[in-house]
Structure 1
Amino acid sequence: MLGKLKAFIRRRFDAWLEKRSPACSQLVLNQRRIFIIPSRAGGGYLLMLLGLLLLAINYQNNLIFAITFWLFSIFLVAILHTYANLSGITLRAGAAEPVFAGQSAAFHLHLEAGKRDRHRLYLAFADQAEEPCSLTPAGASATVVLKFPSTQRGAMRPGRMTITTRYPLGILRCWGAPKLDWHCLVYPQAKYLRPLLNSAADGEGSIPDIARDSDEFSGFQRYQAGQPPKRIFWKSYAKGQPLQSKQFEQSQADELILSWDELEGLGVEDRLSTLCAWALECNTRGLAFGLKIPHVNIAPASGGDQLTRVLRALALY
């Protein structure tokens, strides 16, 4: 019963918060987006003040009255300072690079301090580790990377984050729960459930060798991690130039079509995961490859851009 009540209150609060602070790409924390309550230490502080007040009333002791009201005035001043530590901060959603299912996505958050210093800020998504941040001096800016786990392929939105401070005394917890317009593309998890075969239009066979004698040299491109060492153009690197790799034109027989139909007997997610693994291997080997899945056909090509096109199609299928 208590669990249902908590869930009901949580749903109502989330709905109210959605109306009060909808998703946007950039926002400034103000009175509509900031909440403040006593922290656990603050609750103990208030109980101490209550005890002192009862003691002063019981003994009619003016000194205890003075101490009680002085400590209470400190509490009131702390409210203003804790609130001011958050108020006026500008938050802007940054980039989020694609990841594979099961990995943690990294969302970049840009913060601007505004007209004052900002101390001991803590930022996090729900149920994730907090990232500390301070913005000093006034007008400073910073970028914080927040991690959020991906569980399935597709376009992922992490939801609301929290930005919290207990500065300066730790007796108050001031926080905001902005919802920035973040999204991250999650590729299928790569799984080798079937071996990669050459499914070119000319027939069957195994994976073609890299840079066979029949391939024609076509030029150079910037080296990408995972490309074979035998393709690296070491002469230019020895002259102090950026690392480059040799590119070869492949015959049509060397062009692979990664086909959905070759994976009969596997479920949808297993097919996508296997096609993902095949695409990664083709790119590592420097092969030209295409993709054929229901409603999507990508012509054979090679390189990082082709890999991105194929992985994106698999993620959004």
Structure 2
Amino acid sequence: MHRRLGLWLERRLPLQRSVTLNQARIFIVPTLQGGILLLVALLILLLAINFDSALNYALGFWLIAMLWASVHLTYRNLSGLCISGQVGSLVEVGQMAEISLLLSAPRNQNRGPFEVIHKQWGVVSVAMNGPSVTVRLPLLARARGPITAPRFRIESRFPFGLIVAWSNLKIDVQAWAYPLAVQYDRQLAGGGHEAEQNPPNDPFYRAGSEDFHSLRPYVAGDAIHRLHWASFSRDQLVVKAFTDYQSGNDVLDWDQFPGLADEARLSALAYHSQLMTEQHQAYELRLPGTVVCADQGPEQLARVRRALAQFGYD
């Protein structure tokens, strides 16, 4: 039954970026109070017919008229209402993301409170007393990638609470979750055993083979041809350290983490991008099919995190 209802809703109310509610999209039913009032009105009318009482006729028809007015007024709250998705937030996996919906209408009228309902966030109430209002819906980021808004229910019981007008919608809007930052060692181009053992204190240094940089103590495993023989003749066992100099704009590259799975590489890139931002260092991100140009600061970190979140979903 639920599956058939879901398929019917998908056909009747498909996924859209923006939806304007009309007669075909709004459903109306009495609330519990409205149902009781309708039952009381019918009983009074039965008594009026049985005893031919004009006062009972008047009371019964007055109650039915109030219910009819409630139907009209409650329907008017949703009629013409436009619900459109806005840009979702960017959060780390495990945090609460936020999806924003814009509720707007061509006529500026008091439409009262609305309730946006789904089991993921419960009931979110929003009052619309002007031409537009924004409602923010929290969603848990369970995994890296897009966080899509589920099909939800929007309803109104204003003004008397006797009738509920509602619609079941699925809006094309999404937030994004970037991977958890996990520390993994980077394998720099030209890097080797020398850099791992005792790297020189130079921010632009990268172990290599082009230019002589300095002398350092011998470590087991160093190549024999790197020995500084002049020092060896003075009973000093040191080796020559060579370098490849790099620019201040460092590069975070997908290929710097060989042997890791794709998600682990993304987590490593998230960690090092955060580290470079904290160190006020400019850097560039290179992913297969994507390049984020070199820059620094929180804006660069946001661009990198969005690229990591969207990787594989383009």
Task: Please confirm whether the aligned pair reaches a TM-score higher than 0.5, indicating the same fold.
Answer: yes
Report the TM-score, using the length of structure 1 for normalisation: 0.69
Which deviates the most, 13-22 or 167-176?
13-22
> 2:185, 2:257 within 8 Å by CA — same for their partners in 1?
no
2:145 equivalent in structure 1 = 154
After superposition, the C-alpha distances for 1:31-61 in whole angstroms (9 at most, x for unaligned) are 1111111122223323433444555566665
User: What is the CA RMSD across the aligned residues, in angstroms?
Assistant: 3.5
Mapped to 2, the partners of 1:166 and 1:286 lie a distance apart of 53
- Please list, as runs of the form range in 1=range in 2, the aligned pairs for 1:137-176 lying within 5 A after superposition: 137=130, 140-176=131-167
Matched, 1:31 2:26: no
Matches within 5 A, 1:270-309: 270-289=264-283, 295=288, 298=291, 301-303=294-296, 304=298, 306-309=300-303
String of CA shifts for 1:278-304, please: whole Å, max 9, x gaps: 3222222223445566x4575883425
Q: 1:198 to 1:260 in 2, by over 3 A?
A: closer
2:114 to 113, 117, 121: 121
Percent pairwise identity: 31
3-state secondary structure, aligned to 2:153: strand
Shift, 1:253, TM fit: 8.3
Query: What does residue 135 of structure 1 align with?
Result: 128
| Aligned 1:220-259 pairs, distance under 5 A | 251-252=246-247, 255=250, 257=252, 259=254
Query: Could you tell me which of 190, 194, 198 is aligned with 1:202?
Result: 190
C-alpha separation in 2, matches of 1:114 and 1:210: 65
Report if the CA contact (8 A) 2:151-2:171 is conserved.
yes
Do 1:201 and 1:253's aligned partners in 2 also have CA atoms closer than 8 Å?
Answer: no
Distance in 2 of aligned mates of 1:99 and 1:92:
22
Give 5+ residue unaligned stretches, structure 1.
1-8, 215-249
Offset at residue 12 of structure 1 (A):
1.6
Aligned pairs, number: 266
1:93 & 1:262 partners in 2: Cα distance?
Answer: 37
1:313–1:141 distance in 2 versus 1, CA, 3 Å: closer
Name whichever of 40-49 and 92-101 sits farther off. 40-49
Q: AA paired with 1:121? A: F
In structure 1, C-alpha distance between the alignment counterparts of 2:148 and 2:42, rounded to whole Å: 45
Matches within 5 A, 1:72-87: 72-87=64-79
Q: Partners in 2 of 1:67 and 1:154 — Cα distance?
A: 60
Structure 1 position 211, deviation (Å): 10
- SS of the residue 1:96 aligns to: coil
Tell me which amino acid in the other structure corresponds to 1:159: P
Question: Which range moves more in the overlay, 20-29 or 51-60?
Answer: 51-60
Larger radius of gyration: 2
Taking the aligned partners of 2:201 and 2:105, their CA distance within structure 1 comes to: 53
Once the two structures are overlaid, the 10-residue window that deviates more, 169-178 or 18-27, is 18-27
The verdict on how the C-alpha distance between 1:268 and 1:67 changes in structure 2, with shifts beyond 3 A counting, is same
Residue in structure 2 matched with residue 217 of structure 1 by the alignment: none
Residues 1:211 and 1:130: Cα distance change in structure 2 (over 3 Å): farther
- What is the deviation of 1:165? 0.6
CA, structure 1 residues 47+256, in 2 after alignment: closer, same or farther (shift >3 Å)? same
One-letter amino acid of the structure 2 residue matched with residue 36 of structure 1 = I
TM-score using structure 2 length: 0.70
Q: What is the CA–CA distance in structure 2 between the aligned matches of 1:125 and 1:210, rounded to whole Å?
A: 56
